[in-house]
Structure 1
Amino acid sequence: MNNQRSFFFNVDWFTVILYLALCIIGWFNIHSAIFDEEHPSIVDLSTNYGKQFIYILSALVLATIILLMESRFFSALAPAVYSITVLLLILVLVIGRNVGGNQAWISLGGGFRLQPSEFAKFATCLLLARYLSGTNIKVSDTNSFLIAAAIIGFPMLLIILQPDAGSTLVFCSLIFVLYREGISPLFLIAIGVAIALFILTLLLSQYQLYFIGIITIIAGILVYLFRRNQTLIITVIAGFVFSVGLIFSVNFLYQHVLKKHQTVRIDEWLGITKDLRGIGYNVNQSKIAIGSGKLWGKGYLKGTQTKFSFVPEQSTDFIFCTVGEEWGFAGTLTVILIYLTLLFRIIFIAERQRSNFSRIYGYGVASIIFFHVFINVGMTIGLVPVIGIPLPLISYGGSSLWSFTILIFILLKLDSNRMGII
């Protein structure tokens, strides 16, 4: 009886409530986005919103099983879980079903599909947490950093072969975990500078030599200022070489490495080209749908953009449009506030852990959810390029829902046993 009481009171039920709220919001908005008058019931299993109901119920069963498991299993089983997901990622390249140009799905029959890349997220978080929490492991050391990077990078390599650029980029968010565990802030600054140089070179390609001149002057000033510190001088020189190399290689990467559909999306996002009837159609219609909702929205099942299918993928990648059109600014703000509350709660949970494994895993969960929310919402309003990733717990799909359920509830289980050491 004491164990049952301890289990009940130790679980962070506030996070569970936030999780359930997002699942319910998602289910109703999926129903609205693809509503069929011939199948009006929200639990009609012949429809996708009926299937989402099954996905939610099965996710709750999965969550309960996780909470009833022994906390130490997650650390012990991390290598096995990671290995299984890697095998699934290899298998999907051989027998996977191509959907939307990506060979990322394994058919389970009956209209149900499994997307291994979704499950690779929590598997990678588990193994990364196990490795970084090991004795004498410091991510600031070169060898430790390279091994951690390999743990993150191997699934990325397999996923990009599908090719699924969106899911691949999600793993980049785990850089925040490495930063929390001691990687130099200069590494994050270098990434930010690289992204800025890439964008500026695309926008102002005719001024490449000017960029190089400015970078040379800045590097010369820094070398002079740091002339008595050999380590900093080497860092500045390495940064200079990297920056110049990046500027010269942007055109090659853009024309020979990125896919055509990726480059045209970036061009549209940067305003280099405008094609509102072609590649820019989705985002343009998305903005119209969200803007038409105004303050309070048009009401449940009353979205005209939704009803006439002006926005493709409105129950999956562009589900946020349905929220904006039917629930207005008030609805979108509510959803964003729930996500922010969830993220801050996860970080709070991570920081109160006595176990390094649990803390590191918690930051992995927060990083992945943050990336998904920022990119998904950002692409629906035109702030970032369209890369096609779901809105956590709201977008239609079993694999995505189960993956985020596992991510969150493993953390809740670890937290419920936080007085122990894993």
Structure 2
Amino acid sequence: MRQERNNIFENLDWLLIFLYAILVVFGWLNIYAASKTDDTQELLSFSTKYGKQLIFILLSVPLIIVVLFFNAKFYERFASILYLISLVSLLLLFPFGKEINGAKSWFNFGFLGLQPSEFVKAFTALAVAKLLSDRHYNFKLIKNQIKAFIIIFIPAFLILFQPDAGSALIYLAFFFVLNREGLTLHYITLGVLAITLFLLTILFGATVVLSSLFVLITLFTAYITYRDGKRFLRFNWYKVIGVYIIVAAFILGVGYTYNNVFKQHHRDRFEILLGKKTDDKGIGYNSHQSELTIKSGGFSGKGFLKGDLTKGDFVPEQHTDYIFSVVGEEWGFIGSALVIILFSVMMFRIIYLSETHTNKFGRIYGYGLASILFFHVSVNIGMVIGLFPTVGIPLPFFSYGGSSLWGFTILLFIFLRLDAHKHYDW
């Protein structure tokens, strides 16, 4: 192995850096389009959304240098400490956080607000990589699987209690990482079944679902035996009753949670998504307007700064979670497809580089980064085009906000530092 050199830019993957720069610049152009007014104002000004975002982008440069300054050994050695510090930042939100839109998710520093949950993802990815790369760690043992689940779900629960369900949902992305490292598909299968039962219970009600499942479970647990040359259909009633009790408890729990724990606007979003109700002027207004805005762009778009729906503020908070609707209107199908292609190339590049790592820590962290990006991009775009309910998940490098931009910048450039050192002896 070669000895590590002091040049922090040596061996960096410039394709990933180029993709990062393109996405950030294109994202800012769309924030500019979504927040520009007829009044002429300075670009570097906190008085406008695009001015603030440009300052956040410029401040990302020293942040990148700081991230690259530390070598791979630092991130592996101090992964647990960084993770614990990030958990403390989440805990401090409860007594000291500023409440915005009903959630205590921000620290207010006067001219600047920071959202810790955007940074915790990177440190959770480091902690998961640290645990799973331990030479004595056997992922086939249930107790070791539980350790990984604890690391993932502690920050998720702390974020959920803020409450910020969208940011908490992101931590499900780590199951792709665990699956890559040997976790059985049974967990993911159970997760898919649980989500399916959840949606079916909302759509048809607990009574209908329970009755239908009893018939299905009975049929699936039936088996054929032969006696005296004749076939007999038999049932293992112990399995039928046992499975049914577990499933029934889950379904009844879903019904109770949905009706008594979820707030009305959460219920409305699911019912609109499932087609149980239409509310284009109320809770479904954002999604409906976003879909109309994207459709109006057609194949080639209306042109930069020529989106009349964007300029007319038809989509509330369009510069944040609904920024993709600006792309759809002004850049059309071509621009929207290009954005998706850029994100796809970035994720495939990260996975490719991760597989070339001789160090397990770097590979696992890379898969964590790719999974988080995939989850964010899929859910955000799905939300904007009406496939998913509105859950408040930003589009990486695109959506307005310093915390989001810096959080993803840290995520990416930690990986770039790990990748640059993969040929050295850590």
TM range (shorter): over 0.9
Does the aligned pair in 1 maintain the 2:79–2:123 contact within 8 Å? yes
SS in 1 for 2:221: helix
In structure 1, distance between residues paired with 2:271 and 2:198:
13
In structure 2, distance between residues paired with 1:408 and 1:239:
44
Range 130-139 or range 340-349, more displaced: 130-139
1:211 match? 213
Does the aligned pair in 2 maintain the 1:289–1:325 contact within 8 Å? yes
| 1:45 Cα deviation after fit | 4.0
SS in 1 for 2:292: helix
SS in 2 for 1:62: helix
In structure 1, distance between residues paired with 2:225 and 2:134:
38
Does the aligned pair in 2 maintain the 1:119–1:403 contact within 8 Å? yes
Does the aligned pair in 2 maintain the 1:324–1:332 contact within 8 Å? yes
AA at the equivalent of 1:216: T
Whether 1:144 and 2:144 are equivalent positions in the alignment is yes
AA at the equivalent of 1:365: L
AA at the equivalent of 2:298: K
In structure 2, distance between residues paired with 1:392 and 1:290:
19
AA at the equivalent of 2:21: L
| 1:4 Cα deviation after fit | 6.5
In structure 2, distance between residues paired with 1:163 and 1:212:
36
Does the aligned pair in 2 maintain the 1:223–1:236 contact within 8 Å? no
| 1:175 Cα deviation after fit | 0.8
1:270 match? 274
SS in 2 for 1:103: strand
SS in 2 for 1:392: coil
In structure 1, distance between residues paired with 2:197 and 2:386:
21
Identify which of 379, 390, 403 aligns with 1:399. 403
| 1:82 Cα deviation after fit | 1.1
Range 9-18 or range 58-67, more displaced: 58-67
In structure 1, distance between residues paired with 2:424 and 2:393:
36
The 1:41/1:29 distance shift into structure 2, 3 A limit, reads: farther
Q: Which of structure 1's runs of 4+ aligned residues deviate more than 3 A?
A: 2-9, 39-45, 219-224, 233-242
Whether 1:179 and 2:179 are equivalent positions in the alignment is yes
The 1:221/1:298 distance shift into structure 2, 3 A limit, reads: farther
1:17 match? 18
**Which consecutive unaligned segments of at least 5 residues does structure 1 have?**
225-232
2:82 match? 81
In structure 2, distance between residues paired with 1:237 and 1:174:
33
2:29 match? 28
Does the aligned pair in 2 maintain the 1:140–1:182 contact within 8 Å? yes
SS in 2 for 1:109: coil
SS in 2 for 1:387: coil
2:68 match? 67
AA at the equivalent of 1:121: K
SS in 1 for 2:113: strand
Task: Describe the superposition over 1:350-401 as per-residue Cα deviations: whole angstroms up to 9, x where unpaired.
Answer: 1111111111111111111111100100000110111011100000000111
SS in 2 for 1:39: coil
Whether 1:253 and 2:257 are equivalent positions in the alignment is yes
AA at the equivalent of 1:211: L
| 1:198 Cα deviation after fit | 1.5
Task: Describe the superposition over 1:302-359 as per-residue Cα deviations: whole angstroms up to 9, x where unpaired.
Answer: 1111111110110001000111111111110000000000110111111111111111
AA at the equivalent of 1:316: T
In structure 2, distance between residues paired with 1:216 and 1:382:
37
1:228 match? none
Does the aligned pair in 1 maintain the 2:383–2:390 contact within 8 Å? yes
Whether 1:325 and 2:329 are equivalent positions in the alignment is yes
In structure 2, distance between residues paired with 1:109 and 1:61:
22
1:287 match? 291
Does the aligned pair in 2 maintain the 1:222–1:236 contact within 8 Å? no
Whether 1:312 and 2:321 are equivalent positions in the alignment is no
| 1:147 Cα deviation after fit | 0.8
2:231 match? none
Q: Percent same amino acid at aligned positions?
A: 42
Does the aligned pair in 2 maintain the 1:358–1:415 contact within 8 Å? yes
Does the aligned pair in 1 maintain the 2:80–2:127 contact within 8 Å? yes
SS in 1 for 2:109: strand
The 1:254/1:365 distance shift into structure 2, 3 A limit, reads: same
| 1:10 Cα deviation after fit | 1.2
Identify which of 358, 363, 376 aligns with 2:362. 358
Task: Describe the superposition over 1:152-177 as per-residue Cα deviations: whole angstroms up to 9, x where unpaired.
Answer: 11111111111000000001111111
2:380 match? 376
In structure 1, distance between residues paired with 2:179 and 2:63:
31
Does the aligned pair in 1 maintain the 2:106–2:113 contact within 8 Å? yes
| 1:235 Cα deviation after fit | 10
AA at the equivalent of 2:214: I
Query: Alpha carbon RMSD of aligned pairs, Å?
Result: 2.3
| 1:236 Cα deviation after fit | 9.6
The 1:378/1:234 distance shift into structure 2, 3 A limit, reads: farther
In structure 2, distance between residues paired with 1:124 and 1:393:
20
2:350 match? 346
Whether 1:413 and 2:414 are equivalent positions in the alignment is no
Range 262-271 or range 43-52, more displaced: 43-52
Task: Describe the superposition over 1:179-226 as per-residue Cα deviations: whole angstroms up to 9, x where unpaired.
Answer: 1111111111111111112112222225220222212321345999xx
Does the aligned pair in 2 maintain the 1:269–1:385 contact within 8 Å? yes
Range 199-208 or range 162-171, more displaced: 199-208
The 1:238/1:328 distance shift into structure 2, 3 A limit, reads: farther
| 1:98 Cα deviation after fit | 1.2
In structure 2, distance between residues paired with 1:95 and 1:223:
66
Does the aligned pair in 2 maintain the 1:354–1:420 contact within 8 Å? no
Larger helix percent: 1
**Which consecutive unaligned segments of at least 5 residues does structure 2 have?**
227-236
Task: Describe the superposition over 1:230-288 as per-residue Cα deviations: whole angstroms up to 9, x where unpaired.
Answer: xxx99999765543332332211211232322111111111111111101100000000
The 1:97/1:223 distance shift into structure 2, 3 A limit, reads: farther
1:227 match? none
Does the aligned pair in 2 maintain the 1:122–1:406 contact within 8 Å? yes
In structure 1, distance between residues paired with 2:164 and 2:273:
19
The 1:297/1:360 distance shift into structure 2, 3 A limit, reads: same
Whether 1:92 and 2:93 are equivalent positions in the alignment is yes
Give the number of the structure whose alpha-carbon radius of gyration is greater.
Answer: 2
2:159 match? 159
In structure 2, distance between residues paired with 1:131 and 1:234:
39
